[in-house]
Structure formats: structure tokens, C-alpha cells
Chains A and B, each alone.
Chain A
């Protein structure tokens, strides 16, 4: 005869750690990096120490270089995102709800989607000139597809039961759209926004490296050419922060607009 206590087999899945652990992990990594650089194991040309990068960033902020570049980049990405977002949302909603539009437009969207958008930049420069418009357009185009496609599938996946409820209460098309279809599709639409944010950032930098005097992408390329690595990396940090702000902003917006869908992780 023997006794066997019941042990929790889910323990490793249920274990939780405080947020401080993340901070500590990043801290250790940075310290390690700094140590390696100070010891002179790697030439600062290839990998400058974190403190030097930070100092360079500070100097660039102080003399207004970062401010000017960031302003130029922000203008392009915000305009591109808004433009692409509005068109994407509209096309997604219409193709998702109208069978005719679905038949007419969806094949076109699917056919154009796989084109790497940056390949179209020379064409846009030819059409729209080398100024802001060509860069804004390329970002808008990159943002348009993920948002249009996610809106489409979000609308298609709205629970038919909820639409039946609306129709049974004699709701008209607009009312059903606004109060049933759009809220139902919002979580999927936001997934599209998140993908689009990444695409927008990528296209922004690529376009600025190809054809811009100002902007974070141009700045990074410039310091790369001059082999001033810490300034190059300072530019990368600004990009990373820009991406972070974008993601956080979208998250906040989603929490505001989709309060009925709480995520339990992250």
C-alpha cells in the first residue's frame, strides 16, 4: 500500500514572475554590452558602447538634428497611415458587405497585394515627383492592404446571429453597419492596424533612404556613409522608440474602442 499526493502538473504553465524580471534582464544585457566595449574587445566602429550611443543621441537632440528628422518622418508616416487607413477601412467595409463590390474589387486587391510596395517607389517618383507626395503615397499603399484585408475578413466573420438580431428589430443598413458590423469587426481591424504599423515604418525608412534629404532613414544612411556608428545607432534607437509609441498608441486606442474584449495576457 502506498500514498500518492496529487501534484499540480500545470505548475510550469501557471508560474508567474514580477515585471521587474524584464527590467533586470535588459539591464544585464546592457551591462554586458558596455563591459565588452570598455574592455576593448570590439572596435567602437562596429559596436559602440551603450553610453556612447546615448551621449551621441543626447547631442543630436540638443542641436535639433533629431527634432528636424523626426518631424519630417512623422509627417510622412502619419499622413500615409491616415490616408491608407481611411481608404483601407472603406474598401474593406464595402467589399465585406456588398456581394457586388466583393466580386469586383476583391480579386484586384488580392492581385495587387503581393507586390512589394517599395518596388513602386520609382514609378511614384516619376508620377508624383521626388517630394513628399511620392513617399506619403507609398506608405499609404503599404498601409492600405493589411487594413483593407483585415477589415474585409472582420466584417465577413461577424456573427450572423447578431445581424439577425439587428434585422429583426428593423434596423436599417447604416444602423446595422454602425452598431453591429463595425463593432463586431473591430478586433480584427485592429490586428490589421498593428500589421500596418510595422509596414508603414519599414516603408518610411526605405523610402527615406532612397529619396530624401531629411528624415530618420536619411539620417541613418548618412551616418552609415560617414562611418559614425554611434550616431547611426542613435537614429536606430529613435526608430525603435517611434515604433514603440506607435504600438502603444494603437493599444490604448484599442482598449478605448474595444473594451468588451479584454486580453488576459500582454
Chain B
């Protein structure tokens, strides 16, 4: 099954009534079991695109379609939100159960086993009764990931999931995500403004330009994901990071110019 983003456009109206184009001409296909990272400077509309794919926002034009799906069963997509979006009044177990409760797909007697599996997978065993406020930022986002995975999604959408974490926790979470992804091999769309992170995680990195966001370039990262930490690839990884940064910094400078001209 693939996710086809076809000719998507989106604009917002600012508080002065001016139309701000946010996304233009977005055409992209996520292949089965592919990890795609969307990278761009802030304000490039990458989160908007993710929201459209998630069915949380309507595109002004164009469509997002699952193709080659099994007939009779609508594909499920799960979102891992930037600020986790955990319910403060539910403990870890209840937060992870949220999707199962809301979706009503799985018989209740199978919940416990399924939840226990994902609790173990993200390393939260023993914390089931804890409330979100009792957990560290990294632990909270693990709950967010478990909550997304427990409904067996066909598509995983991650919206800057680690951007609120400190650098060390972030590194650990990245490594854990690589291991986790190798186990689940879910088609994934991952939004980030961290170039290093995109290169470490993704099969393909999609570069968006700044306002309106257009696809500027798509880079394929040919290094096997689980070996990207290895020293022999560090030069190649650094090369990708540099190429992406060159593109993005060009955009940031162009944006500065734009503001100067308008002012």
C-alpha cells in the first residue's frame, strides 16, 4: 500500500485578511515500508502537510489517497504529536488504551496483551500506573509512540516528536526509534527541522522551501538505517547534512531578504 499526495495546495488567511500560501504543488508518494522525512525551515508548511495527510486539515486543492490498499478495510493512520497530546487525567496504561477505546476495533479482552506488548517495546514496563506529569519528557513521548502503534496503523505520522526533548534524550530516542522501526517497518512520514535527525532516520529526505512550501529536492539516503551510527559512514552522513543545510540556509537568507523588501 502506498500513500499518494497529489497536487496538494494550502493557504491560510492571516488576521489582516491576507491570503498566505503555505503549500504549493506538493506531489509525493510514500512507498510501502518507506520512511520519509520532511525537512524545511520553520514556516515552510511541513506540519501543515502532515496534518493534511493525517486527515486533520483539508487541502485547498489536491488530495491524499491510499492506493493499493486491501479492499473493504480502510487504512489506519496514527499520529505522534509534537507535544505528546497525552491526557493528563489518564495514566500510562489508559493513555495507550485510548486509541483502542475510541476505535472500538479490538475486543476488550485482547487489550491487555496488546498494550503490554507495546509498553514493553517502548521500555515503559513498570510505569503503567504513572500519570504523564510524573514522567520525564522522553518517557512521555514513548507513551505517545506506544499509543500510536497499539492500534496497528498502516501509516505512522510523526510531527517533530522529539523537538521538545533535550539533546541527549533526543539522541537516545532516535536510536530507539530506529530499532523500533526495524521491528515494525511501518510506512512513516516524519516531520522535523533537525537535519541530522532526518538523515539518521529516513530512506528519503524531502526538502521543502519556505513559504509557500514547495518540494525543492528529494534525497535518497542509501546507507542501511541500522548502520548509520557506524564510524565508516560518518563522512557520508555529514555530506548529506551539509548538502541539506546549504539548501535550507539559502532559503533562510532569501526569506530575510523578502522581509527587508516588504518592510
Contact = CB atoms under 8 A, between A and B. Distances in A.
Nearest to B66: A4
Interface stretch (A8-16, A64-72, A223-231): A8-16
A8 B60 CA distance: 12
A14 to B, nearest CB: 8
B55 A3 contact: no
Nearest to A11: B58
Interface residues of B, number: 21
A6 B64 contact: yes
B71 A8 contact: no
Interface in A1-54: 1-11, 14
B65 interface: yes
A9 B56 contact: yes
Given A1-B71, A2-B70, A7 B55 contact: yes
Contacts of B75: 4
Interface in B42-66: 52-58, 63-66
Interface residues of A, number: 12
B103 interface: no
B234 interface: no
A9 to B, nearest CB: 5
A214 to B, nearest CB: 46
Contacts of B67: 1, 3
B236 to A, nearest CB: 35
A5 B74 CA distance: 9
Nearest to A1: B68
A5 B69 contact: no
A216 to B, nearest CB: 39
B148 to A, nearest CB: 16
Nearest to B77: A6
A9 B57 CA distance: 8
Interface of B: 3, 52-58, 63-72, 74-75, 77
